[in-house]
Structure formats: structure tokens, C-alpha cells
Amino acid sequence: MVEYLIIPVIKLIVMFSVFLFIAAYTTYMERKFLGHMQMRYGPMRVGFHGLLQPIADGIKNFFKEDVIPENADKAVFVLAPAISIAAAIILLSVIPFGPPIKILGREINLYLANPSIGILFILGFSTLGSYGNILGGWSSGNKYGYMGGLRASAMIISYEISMAFAVVSIIMVTGSFSIVDMVNAQTGLWNVFKQPVAFLVFLISGVAELNRTPFDMPEAESELCCGYNVEYSSMKFALFFLAEYIHMIVFASLVATLFLGGWHGPAFVPGVVWFFLKMFAVIFLCIWVRATFPRLRYDKVMKLEWKFLLPVALLNILATGMVMAVL
């Protein structure tokens, strides 16, 4: 009873609130860091140095008028943000964010579930999240939204492949599909040193998968005026953005768990702290890249994937297999 109902429910509530809080404050972090990288302050007015800005944004979004365009496909239009946010939040359930801890004599694992196919689960559901973008753009009845949706589908078709191949080399090194096993296998040496090429490929295609600058094809503000979410307003718009930031958190924690050793680190601070430090370092990297690079042209994005990342990832798998066969 306690083992199968109460503890999971408590974990669920705690994880849900903590990660939604982090997602809200990632928007603040992004705006603040982006501001300072462009030598301005970012949000400063609401609270001390704008600390209450995410809350103010949330309240504002709640009270905005909810517009559904006349020639939109209404059912799909309403469904799209729900798909987006649901597929994003479900990803959090398999992220292990700390070593097992003891509370009241009970050993508690710091993850909600540890399926034996954890990494496949993440790859599958992160792609499912893009359906929210595609359907949202498609059902808006707007040509910019339609273009954004088309680009979103092109992005998942291409970048999912190199991302999965980068993960395949990690699976080969670990010998397991379970994310917890992957973290445990990195006790001595982190995967980033064993698989530096896979790390780079995963990082680049992950940023592309998140639809962030320099690969923000579906929402390209300057060419598609926000692309797939151009017709969305109020909480629907906010849900899209919440989903995007949760995807970013999941991506950052995936990089941390697959390549940067998860919760492993020098023992003077607990493993949970190490995990969140690594996660925020990757989020910072995302923001840094966003502040630096301009958006790539559409055909160059496709060229980068099909002519560079995919062959490199395949060769990396080949090399990994050869090394494993020899050793």
C-alpha cells in the first residue's frame, strides 16, 4: 500500500510542483541572462530585480482573451497545446535526479519510474511533443502557422535521427536501455570522455529538436512572425511555451544524465545538487548559444543534419562497435 500508492503520489506531487516552478523560473533566467549577454538588464520592475516576473506573466496570461480564429479547425486547435504540454510533462517521470535517499528508514529512489526502456520512452515522447507544434500550426488556418507546422515536421523527421544515433552509442557503451543503469555506469568516467563525438552530435541535434535559435525554424520570428503559435493567445500560448521550457529542462537533464555523469560528482555536496548544477549549466549553454548565433537558413539546417550530423553519428557508432569488438 505504502510502497505502491502513497510514496509514488507524494513523489508525483513534489516532482510536478518542483519542475513546473523550475520551468517558470527558467523563463526568468533566460530573459535575465539574455539581457545581460546583450548588455541590458532584462526584467527589473516586478519584485527585486524582476524576481516575480514569471508569476506576473502567468497571471497576465490567465486574464487574456482566448481567441479562436474563425477558419481554424477548432477541435485540433484546442487539442494541440494539450498534446504539447502532456507529452512534455510525461518525460519528467523517467528522469533520475539523484541517488536513492533514506527517509524514515525507507529507501526512496529519486525518480518516478525506471522502465527498462527508459531512453526509448524519452525519444518517443519527445517526438510526440512536436505533434503539438505541427497540429497547432496546421489547424490555425493561417499561412504562417502552416509554414511553421511544416517546418516543425521537417525538423523532427531529420534531427530525431542523429539524436537517436548519438544515444545508440551510449546504449552500446552501457549495455542497457535503462537511464538509471546509464548513470550508474558512469561512476568512474563520464560518458562525455568516452563518447565526445556523440556528445557533440546529441547537443547540436538536441538544440535543434528544442526548436531554439539557431535552429528555431518553426517559430522564426523574423520570417514567419512566430510560426506555429501565431494564432494562439492566452493560456494556450502559455502552455506552448511551458511545454517548450519543460522540453528544455528535460533535454538539459538528459545531457546531464547521459553524458555528464548524472548525480555523480565529488562527494562534498549531495548528488541531487550535482544533478541540478549540471542541468542548469546545460540550460545556460542553450541560452548562451541563443544569444550568440543567428538563425541558420532553412536549407542549411537540413544540410547540417543530413550531410554532417547523420554521417558523423553513424561513423561514431561504427567506431564504437569496432573498439568494443577489439577490447
Partner 1 sequence: MKETDVIHVSKDRPEKGKYVKPLFRGLNFIFKNFLSKPVTLQYPTEKTQRSQRWRGLHRLEVDEKGELKCVACGLCARICPSEAITIVPYEEEGGIRYPKKFVINELRCIFCGFCQEACPKAAITLTEVYDYIDYNRTDFIFDIEKLKIPEQFKFTGK
Least distance in Å: CB of 53 to partner 1? 15
Closer residue to partner 1, CB minimum distance, 112 or 200: 200
Closer residue to partner 1, CB minimum distance, 1 or 39: 39
Element (H, E) at 101: strand 101-103
The answer to whether 163 touches 108, Cβ cutoff 8 Å, is no
Closer residue to partner 1, CB minimum distance, 40 or 102: 40
Least distance in Å: CB of 222 to partner 1? 19
Distance CA 286, CA 216 (A): 12
Closer residue to partner 1, CB minimum distance, 31 or 236: 31
Torsion angle, CA of 45/49/53/56, rounded to 10 degrees?
-50
Distance CA 181, CA 194 (A): 16
b or e along 3-35 (b: 16 or more beta carbons within 10 Å of the residue's beta carbon)? Answer: eeeeeeeebeeebeeebbebbbbbbbbbbbbeb
Least distance in Å: CB of 300 to partner 1? 11
Least distance in Å: CB of 28 to partner 1? 16
Closer residue to partner 1, CB minimum distance, 246 or 287: 287
CB atoms within 10 A of CB 99: 18
Which residues are 103's β-sheet partners? 106
Closer residue to partner 1, CB minimum distance, 187 or 292: 292
The answer to whether 248 touches 72, Cβ cutoff 8 Å, is no
Least distance in Å: CB of 309 to partner 1? 14
Least distance in Å: CB of 167 to partner 1? 24
Most distant CA atoms of the chain, gap in Å: 64
Distance CA 261, CA 187 (A): 7
Closer residue to partner 1, CB minimum distance, 29 or 113: 29
Q: How many residues does the chain have?
A: 327
CA angle 305, 309, 314 (to 5 degrees): 125
Residues that bind partner 1 (CB under 8 A): 33, 35-41, 44, 288-289, 291-293
Nearest to 206, CA basis, from 178, 175, 165: 165
Closer residue to partner 1, CB minimum distance, 150 or 197: 197
Least distance in Å: CB of 200 to partner 1? 11
Cα within 13 Å of Cα(270), Cβ side: 9
Q: How far apart are the first and last CA of the chain?
A: 47
Least distance in Å: CB of 36 to partner 1? 5
